[in-house]
Amino acid sequence: MTFSTTSTIPINGEIFYQPQDNEVQLFEYAYAHQLPLLIKGPTGCGKTRFVAHMAEKLGRPLYTVACHDDLTAADLVGRHLIGPNGTYWQDGPLTRAVREGGICYLDEIVEARKDTTVVLHPLADDRRLLPIERTGEELAAAEGFMLVVSYNPGYQNILKGMKASTRQRFVALRLNYPDPLLESQILMAESQIEQDLAVKLIELAGSLRRLDSDLDEVVSTRLLIYAARMMSSGMSPLAVCRCCLAEPLSDDISTVEALMDVARLYF
């Protein structure tokens, strides 16, 4: 059974990640000092790719969990299962990472219930312990273990904010959409798009992101990569803008048309 939901595109045997600032060094220092890391940033800005890249760079196994409000502590820690020879214990992804000295990445941690995140507390401070209530074990984290969590501060509401007592156990880092030059390099690395089209897409993204609209989200690097891939296979740029940028961002027809009006200024 695999717990990793990471999708990655290896380039020259490495997971490609274009740093935005000093985040690679920051991650390496946090890892060296056995400190847990919190990554904040909007959806599709590269958080998951960054963690996959760092796990590969540091040579650690990676366990990725996409958090949701039904996620229980047992989903992270493990549970007893019934097999042909009776019951047996199966480690959850967090426990496996703790035993193996791997990286456990909890994506959208604020979605998880508060009682679930409480199991992280003794792991995220100096103790580095994982108490497993159901087996009575208290596991000390292996040397390379690192806890990494992320969330999108834009989604936050009063109910879903991260508890201060949890948040204060992490070194925190903020990522955003990369600046235009970096983002066009990412587009070209992740698709076969020509440079001039990539530059136009990035300019369009800049205009869409600056629009004063009531959209919940702005266009992400992920959507731009989808658009670049569709364009590079020959689809007309405006049709791509509709299906990769405007429609994914809104269900409201007049908003979609307003986004398309901006796209027509570029394509």
Q: Which residues bind ligand ADP (CB under 6 A)?
A: 16-18, 41, 43-49, 178, 186, 190, 221-222, 225
Nearer to ligand ADP, 3 or 130 (CB): 3
DSSP state of 151: E
Q: What Å distances lie between residue 182 and 15, 118, 175, 226, CA to CA?
A: 17, 38, 13, 17
- Nearest residue to ligand ADP on Cβ basis: 46
CB of 239 to ligand ADP, least distance (A): 22
Q: What Å distances lie between residue 224 and 49, 202, 208, 240, 245, CA to CA?
A: 15, 8, 12, 10, 7
Torsion of CA 152, 153, 154, 159, to 10 degrees: 100
Nearer to ligand ADP, 91 or 190 (CB): 190
CB of 227 to ligand ADP, least distance (A): 12
Work out whether strand 78-83 and strand 86-91 pair parallel, antiparallel, or are unpaired.
Answer: antiparallel
Nearer to ligand ADP, 18 or 34 (CB): 18
Q: What Å distances lie between residue 16 and 44, 54, 120, 209, CA to CA?
A: 15, 10, 30, 25
The structure tokens listed for 261 are 């009006």
Nearer to ligand ADP, 141 or 148 (CB): 148
Nearer to ligand ADP, 132 or 162 (CB): 162
Nearer to ligand ADP, 124 or 186 (CB): 186
- Residue 108's SS3 state is coil
The structure tokens listed for 195 are 């440079």
CB of 182 to ligand ADP, least distance (A): 7
CB of 14 to ligand ADP, least distance (A): 11
CB of 139 to ligand ADP, least distance (A): 28
CB of 12 to ligand ADP, least distance (A): 14
Rounded to the nearest 5 percent, the helix, strand and coil shares of the chain are: 45, 20, 35
The radius of gyration of the chain from alpha carbons, rounded to an integer in Å, stands at 21
Nearer to ligand ADP, 44 or 78 (CB): 44
CB of 55 to ligand ADP, least distance (A): 13
DSSP 33-80: TT--EEEE--TTSSHHHHHHHHHHHHT--EEEEE--TT--HHHHHEEE
